[in-house]
């Protein structure tokens, strides 16, 4: 399987678990708390139009376990830290 195909398939799996289209994701070095495998992805979606709505997930592609945090920031006041994942600290 080509890298592009694998990346597209990974994106589809993540979208199926979180329930909608996502833009940014990366594989972490974390072990899943549900199944113990290292298939955990850090996912970020900016849903804001006027205000900033940042959604963060950590998703296991093996067992489907996930955790989600939504962060809301008013217009003009989003800082760099607002786009840090609350689970692993990755800055989107």
Give the pLDDT of residue 43. Answer: 95
Exposure string (b/e) for 37-57, b if CB count within 10 Å is 16 or more?
A: eebbbbbbbeeeeeebebbbb
pTM of the predicted model, to two decimals? 0.83
Q: Which two tokens stand for residue 73?
A: 């920031």
Domain coordinates of the chain in residue numbers? 3-83
* Predicted pLDDT at 71: 82
Average pLDDT, consecutive stretches of 10 residues, N- to C-terminus, the chain (92 residues): 72 91 90 95 81 87 93 68 88 86
């Amino acid at each position: 399987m080509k890298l592009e195909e694998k990346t597209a398939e990974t994106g589809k799996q993540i979208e199926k678990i979180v329930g909608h289209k996502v833009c940014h994701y990366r594989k972490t070095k974390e072990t899943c708390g549900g199944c113990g495998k290292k298939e955990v992805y850090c996912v970020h979606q900016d849903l804001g139009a006027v205000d900033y709505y940042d959604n963060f997930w950590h998703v296991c592609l093996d067992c489907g376990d996930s955790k989600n945090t939504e962060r809301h920031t008013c217009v003009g006041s989003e800082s760099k830290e607002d786009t840090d994942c609350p689970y692993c600290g990755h800055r989107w």
